[in-house]
With several copies, the nearest count.
Chain A
Amino acid sequence: MKREVQDAFHRYLLSLADDELVAGYRATEWTGIAPTLEEDVAFSSIGQDEVGHARAYYALLHELTGTMVDYRARQPDEYLHAQLVELACAPRYHADGNHAAGGDWAFALVRQYLYDLFDAERLQALRGSAWEPLAQQVEKMQREEKYHLHHGQLWFDRLALPDEGLAEDKGESRGRLRRALERAWPDALGLFEPVANEALLVRERLVPATAQDLLQRWLDRLHPLSERYRLPFPAERVDGSWNVTVEPRRGGRQGRHTADWTQLWDDMTSVYRLDPTATW
């Protein structure tokens, strides 16, 4: 593989690994405090799956470059995940007792679902990658992603659709889902920010679909759901394709992130940085 291609592909794989890593960290923040005990256990498994996928991708990076990437040694701006996955939404415990309130379970569900839908399209496309180790790896992960989507779908049914025979029209939960979606759109569309040299990777068939291709497929799958649940949708149909009606917020793929990420990075690496040479 030519040097320039390998560097571009290395950055692409890193964006995959970091997406899964940070999505997994944010999902597992709800372990122990989710709205119901049953959901606490289910949602924690989803977060653990994502972190497990991140480990698999970091191992692929080793296979590609021959050098073991120690994700912990990187600075915050060397991470290439999309900003959607770094946004904080769980309440935060403080030892002195004034905890940060404002936990938003609606956003946790919406973010996870929008991300899983994106990841499902990305994985499907990567099945056709010319780099065989990646094509095989993604095929294995698709089974878990199917379950994640099913989990999200169940929750939308419960929170957005009125139960037959019950006066409650889910107004409260529908309102929260709507606000969560509107808050998520800019960063959700930011998922589709291409990594540098995407065109080169597509030409080499290492990455079979462009970010724009994935965006259209993602909107194709999201539209029927927004119809079914009568919830917001960030695009309109123009001449046979989708035009987004919300300004995407980009930067993550170039290493630019929010304060939420700096805080999470600081937490995530705090013990490791006490002695990076030690075995932990």
Chain B
Amino acid sequence: MRAYEVFARFHRGEPLRHLGSVRSVDGEAALEAAVSIYLRRDAFERVWVVERGGVSEMVTDEEREKRRMAETEYRRPSYFTRRLASSGYRAAKLTLE
């Protein structure tokens, strides 16, 4: 028996979401188990199962992420606040070192 991670979605076009995991002998059995445990027979549009052993994972630390976002705010539309002044154009004096 091996652990399988279960992903599913209920309507076409949605991204698949992780629902949890099941223990089964193979992929077929894992699909059946996933449906019976997590999904009523006709509720879902698509189910994926994959052996947990086949998953590679990366977990980040919150500190690094907060810093990374602060460091790269130049990538966000909100970083550019200069507006086209309605009454003709006046450039805000913005020193860009």
Residues of A within 8 A of B (CB): 38, 41-42, 45, 48-49, 52, 55, 58, 68, 70, 140, 143-144, 151, 154, 158, 279-280
Contacts and interface: CB of A to CB of B under 8 A. Distances in A.
Which A-B residue pairs are the 5 nearest by beta carbons?
A38-B33, A42-B36, A41-B36, A143-B64, A52-B71
Residue among A42, A144, A151 with max Cβ neighbours from chain B (10 Å):
A42
Contacts of A38: 22-24, 29, 32-33, 36-37
Contacts of A42: 32-33, 35-36
Nearest to A71: B97
Interface extent on B, as a size class? 20 to 34
Interface string B10-35: 00000000000011110011001101
Nearest to B31: A154
Interface string B37-63: 100100000000000000000000001
Contacts of B23: 38
A154 B28 contact: yes
11 contacts: A38-B29, A41-B36, A42-B32, A42-B36, A49-B71, A55-B97, A68-B97, A151-B32, A158-B29, A279-B91, A279-B95
Given A279-B91, A279-B93, A45 B24 contact: no
B37 A279 contact: no
Nearest to A46: B36
B9 to A, nearest CB: 20
Contacts of B36: 38, 41-42, 45
B66 to A, nearest CB: 10
Given A279-B91, A279-B94, A279-B96, A143 B67 contact: yes
A277 to B, nearest CB: 12
Contacts of B28: 154
Contacts of B67: 140, 143
A178 B60 CA distance: 34
Nearest to B35: A42
B70 to A, nearest CB: 9
Contacts of A41: 33, 36-37, 40
Nearest to A155: B29
B25 A158 contact: yes
B57 to A, nearest CB: 15
